[in-house]
């Protein structure tokens, strides 16, 4: 069974940094692209970015709203994807989800989410 578990959320002050982790199990992690998405309180889903598998260069893509501030990385030996968030803003407050990509850039598997609150 595919499982994704996010961790690392919490309360952080504006301008500070936070790193989220997504620990995967139940599949060959290194074979899949992994994505981060978020949902602000009472708002819709927003794609944050993804990292391709090593077979496709392990490269990353980001939404314009986080480009230059957020970095996605992966450790295939530990089956973990990371989201490094720098220069956090109050508008980054959201539940952050990780997902595994499958056919047609769809996400059949999601974690339970971790809440990040950016506030002074």
Q: By the criterion CB under 8 A, which residues form the site for another protein? A: 35, 44-47, 50, 61-64, 97, 102-108, 110-113
Cα dist from 102 to 23, 24, 60, 65, 72, whole Å: 17, 15, 16, 24, 18
> 17 or 59, CB closer to another protein?
59
Q: How far is the CB of 98 from another protein (least distance, A)?
A: 10
In the complex, the smallest distance separating the C-beta of residue 77 from another protein, rounded to whole angstroms, is: 26
Considering Cα of 103, then 52, then 68, then 77, what sign does the dihedral take?
positive
Task: Return the closest-CA partner of residue 71 out of 88, 81, 85, 57.
Answer: 85
**Beta carbon nearer to another protein, 2 or 11:** 2
The CB-of-79 to another protein minimum distance in angstroms stands at 19
């Amino acid at each position: 069974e595919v499982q994704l578990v996010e961790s690392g959320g919490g309360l952080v002050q504006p301008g500070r940094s936070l790193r989220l982790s997504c620990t995967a199990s139940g599949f060959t992690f290194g074979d899949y692209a992994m994505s981060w998405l978020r949902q602000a309180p009472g708002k819709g889903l927003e794609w944050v970015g993804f990292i391709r598998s090593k077979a496709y260069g392990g490269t990353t893509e980001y939404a314009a709203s986080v480009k230059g501030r957020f970095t996605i990385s992966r450790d295939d030996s530990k089956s973990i994807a990371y989201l490094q968030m720098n220069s956090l803003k109050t508008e980054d407050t959201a539940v952050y989800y990780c997902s595994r990509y499958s056919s047609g850039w769809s996400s059949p598997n999601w974690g339970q989410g971790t809440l990040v609150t950016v506030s002074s």
